[in-house]
Amino acid sequence: MSDSKNLMDVALHLGDNALILGHRLSEWCGHGPVLEQDIAMTNIALDLIGQAKMYFDLAAELEGAGNDHDHFAYKRDVLDFKNLLITETPNGDYADTIARQFYFDQWHYLLLQELANHENERLREIAQKSLKEVTYHQRWSSEWVVRLGDGTNESKEKMQHAIDDIWYYTGEAFMPADFEKGILPDNLKEQWMSNVKAVLDEATLTMPSDEWMQEGGKTGSHTEHLGYILAEMQFLPRAYPDATW
């Protein structure tokens, strides 16, 4: 495959991560445990969906078929999506959402730090912009892991449960798909493990050690959850093509 096709797939992978996790967080709108955190989650959702738009614009440029960002969000099906499985896992309870966000943010932050110096100018620009936002995301989710982990017996138990449960979706980020080789960094795992451990230690939680991991999202093998997400997200533009406000 050509370099340009691989770069397009990387842009879709990064855009899909942001879009799907952004959509998941947006499901909390009006349901957050307290108003401030409802607003926090929807703010993070907005950042991510904005980032997805930038990646999809890049993918559209590389594709050169006259499509725009909406095409990639609304006109593709499950098999075309390249997001990490962790981004599509259900919101569960607040601890589940925090665990998912924490694991993802810790990876996302390290990734963007590398991409902010990438040789590709467009990727570099998007990363530099996103990194500023993700710095806030990462701080927020880490603080919540500590607050709930080092909280009451009940919050600790729930947080540990969530950390253990979602652990199996964290390995995929460090298993490179063919399209990303030579474009995305492949050396983030060690730093990620050490950063995650530092926060879990502070939270008085136990870091899972199981090495078996779920995978498949980057190549289109998704959990059953993605279809439901797309059904909700894509219904309107599919039922009413080119609808405008």
Partner 1 sequence: MLTALEQNAWEVLNLVEDPEIPVISVVELGIVRSVIDDNGTLKVNITPTYSGCPATQVIEDSVIEALNKAQLLPFEVKTVLSPSWSTDMISESGRQKLKEYGIAPPADHSVDKMALMGEERQIKCPNCGSMDTQMVSQFGSTPCKAHFKCKDCLEPFDYFKCLK
CA–CA dist 137, 131 (Å, integer):
10
Q: Do 16 and 83 form a contact (C-beta atoms < 8 A)? A: yes
Q: What is the amino acid identity at position 81?
A: F
Give least dist CB 176 to partner 1, A. Answer: 25
* 170: phi then psi, degrees, rounded to nearest 5: -90, -20
Choose the binding region for partner 1 from 33-41, 78-86, 151-159, 208-216 (rule: CB under 8 A). 33-41
- CA end-to-end distance (rounded Å), the chain: 39
Q: Residue 39, interface with partner 1 (CB under 8 A)?
A: yes
Q: What is the amino acid identity at position 64?
A: G
Q: How many helical (H) and strand (E) elements, i.e. helices and strands, does the chain have?
A: 8, 0
Give the start-end residues of each E strand in 147-241. none
Q: Do 216 and 222 form a contact (C-beta atoms < 8 A)? A: yes
Choose the binding region for partner 1 from 51-59, 60-68, 150-158, 227-235 (rule: CB under 8 A). 51-59
Residues 61 to 100 in contact with partner 1, rule: CB under 8 A: none
Among 74, 114, 136, 220, binds partner 1 (CB under 8 A): 136
Choose the binding region for partner 1 from 42-50, 91-99, 155-163, 197-205 (rule: CB under 8 A). 42-50
Q: How many residues sit in the footprint of partner 1 (CB under 8 A)?
A: 28
Q: Counting Cβ atoms within 10 Å, is residue 78 exposed (0-12), middle (13-18) or buried (19+)?
A: middle
Q: Residue 157, interface with partner 1 (CB under 8 A)?
A: no
Q: Residue 16, interface with partner 1 (CB under 8 A)?
A: no
Site string for partner 1, 105-134 (x = CB under 8 A): ----------------x--xxx-xxx-xx-
Q: Residue 159, interface with partner 1 (CB under 8 A)?
A: no
Residue ranges in contact with partner 1 by CB under 8 A: 22, 36-37, 39-40, 43-51, 53-54, 121, 124-126, 128-130, 132-133, 136, 139-140
